[in-house]
Amino acid sequence: MATRQTSSNGKPKSPRVQVVLPEELCSRLASLADRESRTVSNMAKVLIQKGLDQYEENTHPQARTGFSSTEKFRSALEAQGTQRLKGAPRRFRLIRPSN
């Protein structure tokens, strides 16, 4: 059963699940998370979400038709690859228009 904690401002946090992984699976997950510039926790969430989506698609295809636009947008963002910044960030100079 997932546990839910309360943050310092009183709002409930997302449910938490504890999982025990074999060493090899844990190291594979960590290296994949590093390659995609994600935390291990976030990478596990993304992979679980993709796995559940695929499972539901294969098992109950009619149940997957009710996607909201927010869920579609979130899925599309998470499917995009991440890139590391190359070099130091550049500063942009804002030029205010003269009246």
Q: Reply yes or no on whether the pLDDT at 41 is more than 80.
A: yes
Residue 1 tokens, joined: 């059963």
Q: Could you report the per-residue pLDDT of 73-91, keeping only the tens digit for each?
A: 877 777 777 776 677 667 7
Q: Is 3 in contact with 14 (CB distance < 8 Å)?
A: no
Residues of the chain above pLDDT 90, percent: 33
- Total-model pTM: 0.56
Q: Reply yes or no on whether the pLDDT at 64 is more than 60.
A: no
Mean pLDDT of the chain: 81
Which pLDDT score, from 0 to 100, does residue 43 have?
94
